[in-house]
Amino acid sequence: MSISEFTPADYEVIARDYADLKEAARKRCANQTELDVVQKAFEFANEAHKGVRRRSGEPYILHPIAVAKIVVGNIGLGYKSIAAALLHDVVEDTDYTVDDIRNLFGDKIASLVDGLTKIKTVLDNEDKAKQKSMQAENFKRILLTLNDDVRVVLIKLADRLHNCRTIEFMPEYKREKILSETMFIFIPLAHRLGLYEVKSEMEDIWLRYKEPEVFNEITEKINRNIIDKEKEIDAFIIPISNALKTAGFNFEIKKRVKTPYSIWHKMVTKNITFDQIYDLYAVRIIFTPDSDAKESERDQCYHVFSIITGIYKYKSDRVRDWVKHPKSNGYEALHCTVMSHSGIWVEVQIRTRRMNDIAEKGIAAHWAYKKDGFVSENDSEMDKWISKVKEILVDPDVNALDLLDMIHNDLTSSDIFVFTPKGEQKSIQKGATALDFAYMIHTEVGNRAIAAKVNMRLVPLTYELRTGDQVEIITAENEKPKREWLQFLRTRKARGLVMDYFKGERQESIKVGKKIVEEQLASIGFRLDDKTIAAMIDGYEIFEGDADELFFRVGLGVLKLNNLEEIVRSSGEARSDKSRPWNFNWFKGKDKGKEKTENYVIGSEDSKFNYVIADCCKPIPGDSVVGFMSSDGTVTVHKKSCPVANGIAAKHGDRIVVPEWKGIVPDRSFLVRLSLKGFDRMGIINEISRYISLVMSVNIRKFYLSTEGGVFEGYIDLYVHDKEDLEKLTKKLNKIEGIQSVVRSDL
């Protein structure tokens, strides 16, 4: 931020932006008194931030105005939240106090501003002297505000969205920190609170900066497709519109295209190309239910569905009924994918106006309808989730880093529905096992479980439950928990109960764990000493424990010693030159003298800085990368879009550095995987391998293809020098007769 006199043009922009906000607030405020509070908050904040500019050079007050616009427009909150958004930086950035806000605006607005100030203070604190789990503590504090007023979190999400919109003005290391925090916590939080618009925009911004080439390529393809298919979509809508009018529905139809991020995510997770995404287009039908009709709101949704599927054939495995079983974030809709008469797949989303408000505004709309007396079957789901979060937050045995992972896993997991033997429906995390279900029923049922019956069939406790399963737990009086259960339990509650059981046998677990650690270290040529223990505590992020805590977790089986050699070798003297053949050199950015703006160049012969390529994502020269510096100066290089990297950056933003590919050692090659799909024919394997080995002179490490019904699918692991090599190879392979797609995938 900087201080300077505002120009007439600055005042004009401020007046224009506030006029837009005031117009939006006018529709949300119940009366002139509420609107006056918004006006007063603007005038106060405008004076407090007078002469202050953001990094972009624009007047600082434009930021709180923009946050307030998101609060009212995207989230649908009322005048107190709009006022709090306008005032959210005043206490932190000026001499005014929370008491000043309270005296002028009352207790509730002051409480909201106080909550936002505390969040901002801890998020922006970059004092390296603080404990390493500071960022985890920060998020704990954010989530603790759910205990007081969920509006604090909602306004913070609006603040984060606007910071993402203006992230281009941040230095790259800070950009990485903000984007990683956004993906790890804020995007899942927006999803869980039902803020689809906020979530989608954050995701697209994340992709634009993490994978700029991919983002631009997908965006260009979307734009080309829209131009090509616009008339087809319009023609698709006409018969539906006519049929709904004939049936007497009051409705509107909107067109939508998948977002760049959702397309990229599907391409990456399913190893497919852009052209293989068949549900690129969606049509949203929003109707006002007939309150006088005999049919319920839900039945009227099914009526619309029957009209549409009477016109177009639908894909039965792509029907999603979130009307009968709403998502845990409150989302209700009926989705189906149908084939248009012109031969393209179109997703149709059916919602009532209430459902649409909740889908777009999330929890705020959900509670507004509840307040107005509308009772939904899903009314308690949001409250259940917030209660569950509160339980985690107040658990004294959960340290901040574990808590952050728990919340992240909870936010990103989805639920399935299963049934008890008596037919009672239960909601449980997707991926949960029969043993997780046993512990959900009762602690003693879990402790004494020996097997389960699912749909009247005997299954082991490791059985992964599916939606619609009817589950009965079989117990034995003398049975007790086993350590190996921790290997397959998925829910936080079940794992916590089993760990609690073994706390009484802590010393035995420490003894077992220490022996395992000693054996694992010996197998890679190291011995157990203070240096290796310190490296492991740091590498496995056991910041609130000691050697005993490390051994205890290993002994229980909670901590797997993955990447052990990499972790102990990064502890200074333990490293050998062979394990780190490349080094970093300093590359000064524009702001000389500021440590955080210095980049690291990969490939220099200077031996000052060592690096290692991360095993989780295996970046190659040309990929967009981010680095994390350990205490001894070693930098681990990840792809920017790597989920592991996002998790590290979200927890340890002070470790982020910005590597650059430069001066690559010519004889160094990198292992990548290409996934292939296509039509089988005689000699195609020979043609593929001959082209890779002889024409491109690329070494193949592994080649796997399987064929069924004339169609093949598989992958090739091979070595390339850089991304340019890989792209050339991919283009050439795509031209071989029979190959339908070649995409880079995870090893």
**Residues involved in catalysis:** 92-93
Report yes or no: 123 and 109 within 8 Å, Cβ to Cβ. no
* Cα separations in angstroms, 312 against 277, 294, 475, 717, 737: 19, 27, 50, 43, 34
Pair of tokens at residue 268:
């990456």
Q: Which two tokens stand for residue 263?
A: 């397309």
- Give dist(CA 200, CA 206) in Å, integer: 10
Q: How far apart are CA 473 and CA 471, in angstroms?
A: 7
**Distance between CA atoms of 134 and 564, rounded to whole angstroms?**
25
* Residue 359 near residue 194, CB atoms below 8 Å: yes
Tell me the two tokens of residue 386. Answer: 């917030």
**Cβ neighbours of 640 (radius 10 Å):** 22
SS3 (DSSP) at 550: helix
Strands (E), 266-391: 281-288, 320-321, 334-339, 345-352
d(CA 679, CA 738): 5
Residues 6+ apart with CB under 8 A from 136: 399, 400, 401, 403, 404, 651
Between CA 445 and CA 451 the distance in angstroms is 11
Q: Show the beta-strand stretches assigned E in 124-184.
A: none
Side chain identity, residue 370: K
Secondary structure (H, E, C), 124-136: CCCCCCCCCCHHH
The DSSP output letter for 184 is I
Contacts of 205 (CB under 8 A, 6+ apart): 164, 165, 167, 179, 182
Alpha helix (H) ranges present in 625-745? 643-651, 684-690, 723-734
Give me the long-range contacts of 502-506 (CB less than 8 A, separation at least 24): 502/556, 506/552
Enter the tokens of residue 727.
């792209």
Query: Distance between CA 31 and CA 16 in Å, rounded?
Result: 23
Q: Which residues contact 293 (CB under 8 A, 6 or more apart)?
A: 300
* φ and ψ at residue 437, rounded to 5 degrees: -60, -40
SS3 18: helix
DSSP bridge pairs for 433: 464
User: At 49, which amino acid appears?
Assistant: H
Buried b (16+ CB within 10 A) or exposed e, 46-65: bebbeebbbeeebbbbbbbb
For residues 646 and 578, what is the distance between their CA atoms, to the nearest angstrom? 28
Instruction: Report the SS3 class of residue 255.
Output: strand
User: Strand 471-475's sheet: what is its strand order?
Assistant: 457-459, 449-454, 471-475
Q: Which two tokens stand for residue 62?
A: 């434009």
Sequence-separated (6 or more) residues with CB below 8 Å from residue 355: 323, 332, 333
Buried b vs exposed e over 359-386: b needs ≥16 C-beta within 10 Å? bbbbbbbbbbbeeeeeebebeebbeebb
Tell me the C-alpha to C-alpha distance, in Å, between residue 593 and each of 436, 448, 590, 655, 669: 54, 63, 9, 18, 35
